[in-house]
Structure 1
Amino acid sequence: MEYTKHGNSVEGYITFNLYFETFDYKEDSLLEQIKFTTAKELFNIMQPDFIEELKQENGAEQVEIHDITFRAKEGDTEAFITMYDNSGNYRISTNLDVSGLDSEYKETLLGIKDILGKKI
């Protein structure tokens, strides 16, 4: 699977954690996820001006980057790489062709039956 064809071909999501002060003066937070389709979009979203704008639009006390997820897809296979503050996560999902499993299962059972028949 080819994750990036060239430097600008990047797709994924960036998630921000928006923190709010409640009337009880306890911190409350909300996750805001934004999709990006190019490296330029990702870097623009990570700029202090954009983060400040996000903060003002939502009335948040503080905004932090929670995670960035990169996505790649080829055919039925999709891969995700998520980077958090101090850790990462990697996941692949794919559609499996199981159309032949029934016949393979039956052949295996018949083989076991033949072996048992010969031994008994």
Structure 2
Amino acid sequence: MEYTKHGNSVEGYITFNLYFHSFDYKEDSLLEQVKFTTVKELFNMMQPDYIEQLKHENDAEQVELHDITFSTKDDDTEVFITMYDNSGHYRVSTNLDVSRLDSEYKETLQGIKEILDKKM
């Protein structure tokens, strides 16, 4: 996959959870998703200075890292990996060539029929 061959060209999203306190002191939160296109951008977004800047720009009480999603594509196969604090979700999608499926299915059925004809 591209991110193992060229680590600098990986892209994805980093999601922060912004926490706010409402007037009745109940905790409210908002997810803020930021796209990165290089590993360097990702590492810069994970630095305490960036998180403090995000906190001040949004007038948030607290900012936490929610998840990081990496995506890459190699020909017709696309991979998404999302990492959370204690778990991960992985999804691989690919285009399958099913143009010959009907003919292969018919050939298989004809083969089964020939076997049955010979045995009966």
What residue number does 1:20 align with?
20
What residue number does 2:68 align with?
68
Change in CA separation of 1:46 and 1:109 when aligned onto 2, cut-off 3 Å: same
What residue number does 2:101 align with?
101
Amino acid at match of 2:72: A
Residues 96-105 or 52-61, more deviating = 52-61
In the alignment, structure 2 segments of 5+ residues that lack a partner are none
Q: Deviations over 1:48-84 (max 9, x none)?
A: 2221222222232211001112222111111122221
What residue number does 2:112 align with?
112
Q: Deviations over 1:1-52 (max 9, x none)?
A: 3423344232211111111222332222221111111122112211222212
TM-score normalised according to structure 2 size: 0.84
In structure 2, C-alpha distance between the alignment counterparts of 1:114 and 1:23, rounded to whole Å: 78
In structure 1, C-alpha distance between the alignment counterparts of 2:6 and 2:101, rounded to whole Å: 39
Conserved 8 A contact 2:2-2:10: no
What residue number does 1:56 align with?
56
Amino acid at match of 1:115: I
In structure 2, C-alpha distance between the alignment counterparts of 1:54 and 1:91, rounded to whole Å: 29
What residue number does 2:90 align with?
90
State the 4+ residue runs in structure 1 displaced beyond 6 angstroms.
none
Percent identity for Structure 1 against Structure 2 = 82
In structure 1, C-alpha distance between the alignment counterparts of 2:102 and 2:22, rounded to whole Å: 58
More helix by share: 2
In structure 1, C-alpha distance between the alignment counterparts of 2:3 and 2:21, rounded to whole Å: 40
Change in CA separation of 1:19 and 1:48 when aligned onto 2, cut-off 3 Å: same
Residues 4-13 or 34-43, more deviating = 4-13
What residue number does 1:32 align with?
32
Q: How many positions carry a matched residue from both structures?
A: 120
TM-score normalised according to structure 1 size: 0.84
- Quote the RMSD (CA, aligned, Å): 1.9
